A and B are shown apart, each in its own frame.
Chain A
Amino acid sequence: MRDVVSPNETAQRTSQGPPVRVVHYLNQFFGGIGGEQHADHPVEVRAGAIGPGRALEREWDGAATVVATVIAGDNYVSTFASEAEVAIRSALEAHRPDVLIAGPAFNAGRYGMGCVTACRAATSLGISSVTAMFPTNPALAMLESRGLIVLPTVETALGMPTAAKALARLALKLGRGEAVGTAAEEGFLPRGMRRDVWHEQTGADRAIAMLKRKIAGQTYRSELPIEIFDSVPPAPPLARLAGVRIALVTTGGIVPRGNPDRLREYNSVTWRPYSIAGLNDLTGDAWEPIHGGYDSTWAREDPDRIVPVDALRLLERAGEFGALDDRLYVMVGVGTSVGNARRFGEEIALDLQKRGVQGVILTAT
């Protein structure tokens, strides 16, 4: 459960310099075009503040101004995200704001996606951005939302006054180029970027203090947000196994004896393909486990216990499937970053496609 944190400060009129220039992204409804029937509305730019944008201007009291409002229909942005991003980017290039504000989208998923797209367009131009939505808005589960500054709101537009206040405050700071504090200090949601710190108290004291608050029903802030992984649509099943090319991939770190490519025992930065052409099994003489995170006693005796080459060769010869690919794809899983693992998967998948592999068995320890 995330708290809705709303800083008490209000936006102040700046005593020097021109007002901060803001572009505001809204959906078709808040942009005043219409309801759901206008959800296919393409990206449109209008001068000045509209709807919630006016609430922002009241908060700023002259310190900032909405120079343009970018409006797009919820269906349009979610269906044509790349086109929408291009259009929003042009609008930003034309108006060159100091900061982009998107939403608030509350718990509207498509609107949330539009806000994410708008913020990404801003980021691509080096323009600061901030958006606001309900913490479990589906848009925030998307990989694309990682790294964006997102203020939490309640679920519905009843939270507009609070959200407007929070957006106004932080946008002003961003637009002025002021240093932004931690997520906890500024009140935005963890965005997948963390930094080492030295706290005042030990971890034990912080844990006991947090527990006392939790037991008492008081608000507390977790120091580490739960990560939700995005879903991957399953590949369609193989219609049959006859004639199918199967490949083996492993994170168990089985490499040719001597580890010729000097793979790491953990925290992989690379993967390697090794030939198993003509091999009926993996023997402990020719292969070894270099993975640092599991007891490799059994794997050392017989690497087939990690990568079942011998079993698959027998099944191949018995005609239970087409062919076992000559390549064994190897890496070490333990301590490997998710970012690298994603990259390995993409690279290996491309290679598999080139080799005509239709099914993969990936073994992990």
Chain B
Amino acid sequence: MTTLTTLAAEVRANRIVAGVRIPHPVSDPTVAPDKEIDVRIAVARRALDVLTLAVEGPTVFAVDLAKAR
């Protein structure tokens, strides 16, 4: 899970989930404090989901944060 998705692809990580921002890749401190956990849940859920997906090589997966916020 990283914001630097192309860098992860370059070093051949196969399952890459796009992070939010470099200093907080799995969260979003700009949302209301009580809502921030929802962002992390959405990100974590996506990561778990991606572990169940077949890939052929480096693949970047986005997280739909609109659902979380």
Contact = CB atoms under 8 A, between A and B. Distances in A.
B8 interface: yes
B40 A359 contact: no
A321 B49 CA distance: 10
B27 A246 contact: no
Interface in B13-37: 14-15, 19, 22-27, 29, 37
Interface stretch (A42-50, A87-95, A290-298): A290-298
B66 interface: no
B55 to A, nearest CB: 5
Contact of A299 (B10, B23, B51, B53): B23
| Chief secondary structure at chain B's binding surface | loop
A294 B22 contact: yes
Contacts of A231: 12, 57
Nearest to B39: A311
By secondary structure, the A interface counts as loop
A215 interface: no
Given A232-B14, A305-B24, A308-B43, A241 B29 contact: no
B56 A361 contact: no
A231 B11 CA distance: 8
Nearest to B59: A234
Nearest to B4: A364
B45 A238 contact: no
Contacts of A252: 25
Nearest to A318: B41
Contacts of A305: 23-27, 29, 40
A345 to B, nearest CB: 11
Interface string A267-302: 000000000000000000000000000111111011
A297 to B, nearest CB: 7
